[in-house]
Each structure stands twice: as C-alpha cells, then as structure tokens.
Amino acid sequence: MIPKYFTILSASLIAAAVLLAGPGLIPQALAQADERASHPVEPAGGGLTPEASVQRGRMGQMVTPIEILNFSSPTEERRFRALISEMRCTVCQNESLIESTAPLARDKRMLVLRFLQEGHNDNEIRQFMVDRYGNFVLYRPPLTGQTLLLWAGPFLLMLGGLLTAFIIINKRRQALQ
C-alpha cells in the first residue's frame, strides 16, 4: 500500500509542474495529441513485403544483416558469431560487428572469417584486431595500465561520493551537539 504522503507529494509535484509550465500547457498538449492522431502511422517495414522489409537497413539502404557465408562446420560458425559479437564496430561505435551494417564492419567480418578458415585461434584473431584498431574494438577491454581507470573509475567515484556524504553527515552531527 502506498503511504498517504507519497500520494500528496506526487499530486503536489504534478500541480507544480503544470503551474510552472504555464496556463497553455494542457490545451497545447491536447492539440498536439489531435495532430498526431490525424496522421496515419506507416506500417512496420515501411509498407514493404516481409521479404523486402528484412533487407531494408537504416536510412533506407538495402542490406542484409549478415552476409550469406559458407562455414566448414557449425563450430566454425559459432566461433565466428561469438567473435564478431564481442567486437565493436569502429564506425557505429554502439553496435557490435554482428549488428553493424557499415561497409567497414563487413570488411572486418570477412577478415575474421578468413582468419578462422586459415586456422587461427580466437585469441590470435582478437589480438590482431586489438593491434590494428586498439582496445576500443573490444567490448570487454583487458585490464591493463591504460584501462585501469576505465575499470576502477566507477568504483572510485562511488567511494568518493560515500566518503563525502559521510564527512558532511559527521560535520552536521557535530554542529548539532
């Protein structure tokens, strides 16, 4: 059950937000809702057939999510997918190589596949990519002197915040005595 003061507090915050936004807020919001409702929404896939909508990438370019590749075994395919899913596309930066539709990502996928077919192990392939593109290419960079702050930074910030809060609370407690 929600305590009564939470309900009162939420109602007060909503009322304050409406007052601060001005008297035209509600009519303006209703007008915007009517405007959105008057325009029909384009169907999923942009009105294309299911086959065509699968091939439609970002910004309308025609792509396939992953090229049709020939693997010598299911194990090789699993290794390939595992490797490219843990590597970042250096063009998109927030997508893995398996998700990216950038031409450079396609080239990197082909490079990984070539190394797999030549018999290189996963660590050798990762190391080649790191040597060529830096630790940034890995979603989980190794713990080194250069990445120590990256790994320890969040914990140090949290520790600093807790220490600051502790000092402030102690000073206030001493001031009250």
On the question of pLDDT at 8 being above 60, the answer is: yes
User: Which residues are 138's β-sheet partners?
Assistant: 87
- What pLDDT score was predicted for residue 171? 92
- What pLDDT score was predicted for residue 16? 60
Tell me the C-alpha to C-alpha distance, in Å, between residue 116 and each of 59, 65, 78, 132, 163: 32, 20, 11, 17, 50
- Per-residue pLDDT reduced to its tens digit, 70-116: 888 899 989 999 999 999 988 887 888 888 888 888 999 999 999 99
On the question of pLDDT at 121 being above 90, the answer is: yes
pTM of the model: 0.50
- What pLDDT score was predicted for residue 145? 78
- What pLDDT score was predicted for residue 93? 75
Q: Does domain 54-61+72-137 have CATH number 3.30.1490.20?
A: no
In this structure, what token pair is assigned to residue 54?
A: 């699968």
In this structure, what token pair is assigned to residue 92?
A: 């998109």
Domain boundaries of the chain, sorted by first residue: 54-61+72-137
- Helix, strand, coil percentages, rounded to 5, for the chain: 65, 5, 30
On the question of pLDDT at 132 being above 80, the answer is: yes
- Per-residue pLDDT reduced to its tens digit, 38-67: 555 544 444 444 444 444 444 444 344 556
- What pLDDT score was predicted for residue 44? 46
- What pLDDT score was predicted for residue 115? 94
- What pLDDT score was predicted for residue 55? 45
H helix runs in the chain, sequence order: 4-21, 25-38, 50-55, 74-85, 103-117, 122-133, 148-176
On the question of pLDDT at 157 being above 80, the answer is: yes
Residues of the chain with pLDDT > 90: what percent?
31
When pLDDT is cut at 50, 70 and 90, the band that residue 161 belongs to is very high
3-state secondary structure of 118: coil
Which of 86, 102, 99 lies closest to 135 in space, CA to CA? 86
